[in-house]
Amino acid sequence: MAPEVSASPISNQIRRLRFEHQEMTQQALAERIGVTRQTVNAIELGKYSPSLEVAFRIAAVFAQPLEAVFQYRETLSPRRRG
């Protein structure tokens, strides 16, 4: 049995924002932020967390604050006291 892969604690609104901006393609976004289309796809699907610089570039393309594009959900469990 394969180990279960946990989802990234970072979710995003990139797909929605692309479609709200004249149905921008992943390739067009990639060119504007200086990465490959495959990188945009992986970020969009939550398989890869972007660097801070790339995250800011994405937010700038859509003229949105970073937190409107990316959301972080806490996944750390509280430490046990022993």
Tell me, what CATH number does 42's domain have?
Answer: 1.10.260.40
Q: How far apart are CA 36 and CA 25, in angstroms?
A: 12
Higher-scoring residue by pLDDT: 52, 6: 52
Q: Does 48 map to a domain?
A: yes
Q: Tally Cβ neighbours within 10 Å of residue 19.
A: 10
Q: Is residue 77 part of a domain?
A: no
**pTM of the entire predicted model:** 0.80
The range of the structural domain enclosing residue 47 comes to 10-69
40: in domain: yes
Number of domains present in the structure of the chain: 1
| Helix (H/G/I), strand (E/B), else coil: 55 | helix
Q: What is the pLDDT of residues 59-77, one digit of tens each?
A: 999 999 999 999 998 766 5
What's the pLDDT tens digit per position in 32-46? 999 999 999 999 999
Written as six digits, the tokens of 82 are 């022993």
